[in-house]
Amino acid sequence: MKKTIIVFAFALIAACAPVKLLQPTQADADRGSQKFPGFSLSELNEGKSIYEAHCNKCHRFKVPESRDEMKWDMVIPKMAKKAKLDSVQESLVLKYVVTMSTAKTK
């Protein structure tokens, strides 16, 4: 019984913990620039800021590494419309999530 309560308490804490977003590094920007020519770390961080400001209003953050590029290509146009992003913001968010979807989590 006591064990059940402890397990339950931990589950509750885990569910409420804020979603952790990886801090983009130069290595991430370099990897991204192979896909998006000229892509820089500052653009990557800009994409992250837009994502942080708009993408947890209706649901918790769906972290970049939770989906692959193909999935993000389908989801972002839909969500950009929901979040009322302009086309520049949409493109930065797409580049951010696609680049960070393959980031090393450690």
Contact residues: ligand HEC, CB under 6 A: 54-55, 57-59, 62, 67, 75, 79-80, 82-83, 93
Using alpha carbons, select from 61, 38, 37, 42 the residue that is nearest to residue 51: 61
Nearer to ligand HEC, 29 or 100 (CB): 100
Alpha-carbon Rg for the chain in angstroms: 16
Rounded Cα distance, 43 and 61, in Å = 20
Nearer to ligand HEC, 31 or 62 (CB): 62
Q: Tell me the closest approach of the beta carbon of residue 80 to ligand HEC, in angstroms.
A: 5
Nearer to ligand HEC, 5 or 58 (CB): 58
